[in-house]
Structure 1
Amino acid sequence: MTTAREIMTPDATCVGAQETVVEAAKKMASLGVGALPICGDDNKLKGMLTDRDIVVKVLGAGKDPAETKAGDLAQGEAVTIGADDEAEEILRTMTEHKVRRLPVIDGHTLVGIVAQADVARSLPDPQVGELLEAMSS
């Protein structure tokens, strides 16, 4: 069976919890991604920051993106998947938590990201269809 390690995008770039939202947005733009994991000084995952978070929680709320820290937008414990977890667990976790991207951890170390697009490229059409249907409802 296919595992997260096999379909993930490896070497995920973190935004530091103390970096500003402007710095995070610049990283997203240069990497061509819509989300970044937020990592603390201890290099542990603190959450995920999406382009939507920047628009809604910072710009839409009238906050200054040059003053707002990425870590201020981390909400509780991040939803993750283990590197050796199988595809069914990826699908279940994405569906249950309604997330399009899952940080992949090996022990306590961030090793990659599984995005909805990675799932779509790697799994049979019926499984992908079920995920897309669940995410759209």
Structure 2
Amino acid sequence: MTTARDIMTPQAHTVSESASLVEAATLMREHGVGALPVMSEDGMLSGIITDRDIVVAGVAASHDVGAVAVGTVTQGIVSTVAPDEDVDRVVGVMGDQQIKRLVVVDGHEVIGMISESDLARNVDEDKIVDFVKQVYGRS
């Protein structure tokens, strides 16, 4: 059985809710990622921020991206899976929720991320087709 741990990108980099949008964007650039799990001040996963969030909620809204905190634009509902979750379930969660990134947690610790590219590299083509239809095929 292939699991979330088998396909995830390990060592997910995180950002604090209090970090600025510039700090988040810098971390994304340094690590070559388009999303970061957001951690609350008490170390709990509180959301996810994407490069698109920074552009739409920060730049396009003419905010001072050096002064706006990540927590003010974070997508607060974040989907997670355990590392031992079956890959079919992972694809199902991502498709059902129409999400392109999924955080992998072990207890309360963020241990990885699963993105569309992880699916493309590791999941059977027919499951990828179903995922794409679910995420991009709805109006």
Same topology, TM > 0.5: yes
- Equivalent in the alignment of 2:130: 130
Q: Is the CA contact (8 Å cut-off) linking 1:15 and 1:24 kept in structure 2? A: yes
- Counterpart position of 2:70: 70
In 2, distance between residues paired with 1:98 and 1:69? 26
Residue 22 of structure 2 is matched in structure 1 by 22
Alignment RMSD? 1.1
Give the whole-Å Cα distance in 2 for the aligned partners of 1:77 and 1:86: 22
Partner SS for 2:65: coil
Q: Is the 8 A contact 2:49 2:75 kept in 1?
A: no
Q: How many residues align?
A: 137
Equivalent position of 1:60 in the other structure: 60
User: Could you tell me how far apart the structure 2 residues matched to 1:5 and 1:104 are?
Assistant: 8
Identity of aligned residues (%): 36
Q: In 1, Cα distance between the equivalents of 2:74 and 2:128?
A: 28
Q: Give the C-alpha shift of residue 30 in structure 1.
A: 0.9
Structure 1, unpaired ranges of 5+: none
**Alignment match, 2:110:** 110
Q: Scaled by the length of structure 1, what TM-score is found?
A: 0.95
Aligned 8 A contact 1:24 1:70 in 2: yes
TM score, norm. by length of structure 2: 0.93
Shift of 1:45: 0.9
Q: Where in structure 2 are the equivalents of 1:27-46 lying within 5 Å?
A: 27-46=27-46
Q: Which runs of 4+ in 1 moved over 3 A?
A: none
